[in-house]
């Protein structure tokens, strides 16, 4: 969902959407090293802003599916050494600012790949412990 949403957001975003995305990214930066709750909240705000920037009702409603997945993922990886999510989220924002739909979709795919790799790493560490 999110690669397609990122591409659409790059085509349809408004200045207000960019402000929301940049504020959400800043909140993610500030949440680094904080509680799992703070990290998850900042991450959720980013993804809600991304979906909202599509100006597509179906994508905007997808946050009801994204929220539980993000909360579970963020709780699982919190306290483990995983990839810093800010740079990958930042690349999505940069592509959306540039109105480059292909780059935005690619950046969102890379973000998801990092997230999956982090979860797999944590699960492997917990299994081996």
Q: How confident is the model at residue 59 (pLDDT cuts 50, 70, 90)?
A: very high
**Residue 57 has which token pair?**
């009702």
pTM (predicted TM-score): 0.93
Distance CA(13)–CA(127), nearest Å, equals 42
The correct CATH number of 2-128 out of 1.20.120.530, 1.10.460.10, 3.40.50.150, 3.30.565.10 is: 1.20.120.530
What residues have CB less than 8 Å from 76, skipping those under 6 apart? 119, 122, 123
Q: How far apart are CA 44 and CA 22, in angstroms?
A: 13
Paired tokens of 40:
């998850």
Listed in sequence order, the residues at least 6 apart from 59 whose beta carbon sits closer than 8 Å to its beta carbon are 1, 4, 5, 8, 51
Give the tens place of pLDDT for each residue, 37-54: 888 889 999 999 999 999
Domain ranges of the chain: 2-128
102-114 residue pLDDT tens: 999 999 999 999 9
Cα 88 to its chain centre, rounded Å, is 8
8 Å CB contact between 78 and 39? yes
* Position 95 confidence tier, pLDDT thresholds 50, 70, 90: very high
């Amino acid at each position: 969902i999110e690669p397609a949403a990122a591409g659409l957001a790059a085509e349809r975003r408004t200045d207000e959407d960019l402000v929301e995305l940049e504020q959400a990214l800043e909140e993610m930066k500030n949440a680094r090293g904080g509680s799992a709750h703070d990290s998850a909240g900042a991450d959720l705000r980013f993804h809600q802003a991304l979906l909202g920037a599509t100006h597509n009702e179906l994508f905007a409603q997808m946050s009801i599916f994204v929220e539980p997945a993000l909360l579970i993922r963020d709780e699982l990886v919190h306290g483990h050494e995983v990839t810093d999510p800010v740079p990958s989220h930042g690349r999505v924002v940069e592509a959306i600012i540039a109105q480059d739909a292909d780059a935005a979709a690619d950046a969102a795919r890379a973000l998801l790949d990092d997230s999956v790799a982090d979860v797999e790493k944590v699960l492997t560490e917990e299994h081996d412990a």
